[in-house]
Amino acid sequence: MSTTIIMEPDIQQKLAILGGEASDEVTDVPATQSIQQGIRHATGFIYDAKQEGGGTTRLFKVLQTNACRFACKYCYTSCAIRRKRTTFKPDELSTTFVSLHQRQRVDGLFLSSGIVPDADTTMEKMLATVERLRLKEGYTGYIHLKLIPGAAYDLIARAVELADRVSLNLEAPNAERLAALAPDKEFTESMWGRMRWASQLIGRARQEGRQAARSLTTQFVVGAVGESDRELLETVQRAHRELGLWRAYFSAFHPIERSPLADQPAEDPTRALRLYQSDFMLRDYGFRYDELPFDEQGLLPRDKTPKQAWAERNLHEPIELNRASREQLLRVPGIGPRSADRIIAARRERRLRDLSQLKALGVTTSWAAPYVLLDGRWAAVQLPLW
């Protein structure tokens, strides 16, 4: 009679499994070139995430466990897919992070998890990891903590207290689409409702001057179950308005071997790029949702930015940059919030008369030139030679 001995994977094996399978969690907005080419800026379990003000930060990006009770059709950790499962104990994971941080290999932690055996148990293990880092190891740096759908209120509250950022992946824009993508999950209460709790807790802490997470984010899987861009951005606008959402992330669907959607084609990464650009228009540029250039199927154009498409339809009169308001400047393709502020500052000192001045202020002049006047004249554009 033979005996099968099951050995617990060592730390390096766990890192290889739980770091690699965390790669689908989006932690920043990719650059245009990167998202069009599908480049992933990850090295194993270390992810170079872009910072809001420039530069990058190295995140230790990892799952607490890749075991999961849910059979989400798009996900590596789905219980419907046979694969090697393992779990970090809270003390193992915190010790591993401290070691990496002390060796200056990572700057912060991004912690997510599969869900097993239930939401509260999973959230408790994640919180135990973070509490050990904060309270025992004295770590005061950046932590991004995923919220588990359906977790109890007190666990959501503790996560908000401990983390710098919290997030919960809605994955789909509404309950109907979520049922097709992740049939075991519930949209209204266990996901949107938990995000509402987190938003309220963040707002309350801010009013009372208490330490708490600074922001709330979410992520959507794009192109897996036939959802339109209109559906996605309608939900994003609602989340900005009702939840104070800091940012939405969009992950273009790519099939996973042996998953229920394994034979479905990957989504064009350019579609995710257009969704990011549209979200910026809503969040930072003063556009309304009903102004976005959807076609009859509720999709955005792929061959140009949504702002360029809007301008082609609506900017019939050129805008004089020496007199335009900030709101008007932000309507011009190639001018963003920073370059708009620079234009306003520069024209206090001198008249803007040529494209070289705009380029020095950060304007994408090839996009802006057809829509602007400089000191009463159309901007001179160099035509291509062939």
Write the pLDDT tens digit of every residue in 191-206: 999 999 999 999 999 9
Is the predicted pLDDT of residue 43 greater than 70, yes or no? no
Per-residue pLDDT reduced to its tens digit, 266-306: 999 999 999 999 999 999 999 999 999 999 999 999 999 99
Task: Return the structure tokens found at 229.
Answer: 């861009």
Q: For position 234, what pLDDT does the model report?
A: 97
How far apart CA 342 and CA 339 sit, in angstroms, is 5
Q: For position 28, what pLDDT does the model report?
A: 54
Closest among 290, 289, 372 to 332, alpha carbons compared:
372
Is the predicted pLDDT of residue 386 greater than 50, yes or no? no
Q: For position 1, what pLDDT does the model report?
A: 40
Average pLDDT over residues 122-145: 97
**CB within 8 A of 384, min separation 6: which ones?**
none
How far apart CA 162 and CA 134 sit, in angstroms, is 8
Q: Coil, strand, or helix at residue 231?
A: helix
For Cα atoms 50, 55, 60, give the angle at the middle one, nearest 5 degrees. Answer: 50
Tell me the percentage of the chain whose pLDDT exceeds 70.
86
Q: For position 134, what pLDDT does the model report?
A: 97
Residue type, 185: K
How far apart CA 271 and CA 263 sit, in angstroms, is 20
Confidence of residue 259 (pLDDT cuts 50, 70, 90): confident
How far apart CA 41 and CA 38 sit, in angstroms, is 10
How far apart CA 209 and CA 196 sit, in angstroms, is 20
Q: For position 368, what pLDDT does the model report?
A: 96
**CB within 8 A of 90, min separation 6: which ones?**
125, 128, 129, 132
**CB within 8 A of 36, min separation 6: which ones?**
269, 270, 273
Burial class (CB within 10 angstroms; exposed 0-12, middle 13-18, buried 19+) of 348:
exposed
Average pLDDT over residues 88-116: 94
Greater model confidence, 86 or 166: 166
Task: Return the structure tokens found at 192.
Answer: 């949107």
Per-residue pLDDT reduced to its tens digit, 228-242: 999 999 999 999 999
Q: DSSP letter string over 145-170? A: EEPPTT--HHHHHHHHHH-SEEE---
Q: For position 39, what pLDDT does the model report?
A: 36
Closest among 62, 123, 132 to 95, alpha carbons compared:
132
How far apart CA 327 and CA 319 sit, in angstroms, is 11
Is the predicted pLDDT of residue 34 greater than 80, yes or no? no
CATH class entry, domain 11-266: alpha beta
Q: For position 57, what pLDDT does the model report?
A: 87
Q: For position 33, what pLDDT does the model report?
A: 45
Q: For position 260, what pLDDT does the model report?
A: 86
Whether residue 60 contacts residue 27, with contact meaning beta carbons closer than 8 Å, is answered with no
Is the predicted pLDDT of residue 367 greater than 60, yes or no? yes
Average pLDDT over residues 219-229: 97
Question: Can you give the residue ranges of every domain in the chain?
Answer: 11-266, 316-378
Q: For position 142, what pLDDT does the model report?
A: 96
Q: For position 4, what pLDDT does the model report?
A: 40
Is the predicted pLDDT of residue 154 greater than 50, yes or no? yes
Q: For position 294, what pLDDT does the model report?
A: 98
Q: How many CA atoms lie within 13 A of 313 on its CB side?
A: 13
Greater model confidence, 358 or 74: 358
Is the predicted pLDDT of residue 356 greater than 90, yes or no? yes
Confidence of residue 84 (pLDDT cuts 50, 70, 90): confident
For Cα atoms 380, 385, 386, give the angle at the middle one, nearest 5 degrees. Answer: 135
Confidence of residue 2 (pLDDT cuts 50, 70, 90): very low
Q: For position 3, what pLDDT does the model report?
A: 37
Whether residue 224 contacts residue 181, with contact meaning beta carbons closer than 8 Å, is answered with yes
Question: Could you tell me the CA-to-CA distances from 28 to 31, 102, 115, 200, 281 in Å, in that order?
Answer: 9, 24, 24, 24, 17
Confidence of residue 53 (pLDDT cuts 50, 70, 90): low
Whether residue 219 contacts residue 177, with contact meaning beta carbons closer than 8 Å, is answered with no
How far apart CA 280 and CA 107 sit, in angstroms, is 27
Is the predicted pLDDT of residue 31 greater than 70, yes or no? no
Is the predicted pLDDT of residue 89 greater than 70, yes or no? yes
Task: Return the structure tokens found at 305.
Answer: 């930015």
Whether residue 106 contacts residue 97, with contact meaning beta carbons closer than 8 Å, is answered with yes
Closest among 379, 325, 327, 335 to 353, alpha carbons compared:
379
Q: For position 80, what pLDDT does the model report?
A: 58
Average pLDDT over residues 150-166: 98
Report the chain's mean pLDDT, rounded to a whole number. 88
Closest among 13, 213, 8, 6 to 96, alpha carbons compared:
13
Average pLDDT over residues 211-236: 97
Q: For position 56, what pLDDT does the model report?
A: 82
